[in-house]
Amino acid sequence: MTLPIALDAMGTDRGPGEVVAAARQARDDHGIEVVLVGHPDALGDTDGIEVLAATQVVDMGDDPA
- Ranges of each domain in the chain: 12-37
Per-residue pLDDT at 48: 96
| pTM listed for this prediction | 0.86
Asked whether the beta carbons of 25 and 8 are under 8 A apart, the reply is: no
pLDDT at 3: 93
pLDDT in tens, 16-49: 999 999 999 999 999 999 999 999 999 999 999 9
As a whole number of angstroms, the distance between CA 8 and CA 14 comes to 13
Please, which pLDDT band fits residue 12 given cuts at 50, 70 and 90? confident
What local confidence, expressed as pLDDT, does residue 8 receive?
94
Give all strands of the β-sheet with 50-53 in edge-to-edge order: 5-8, 34-38, 50-53
CB 20 within 8 Å of CB 8: no
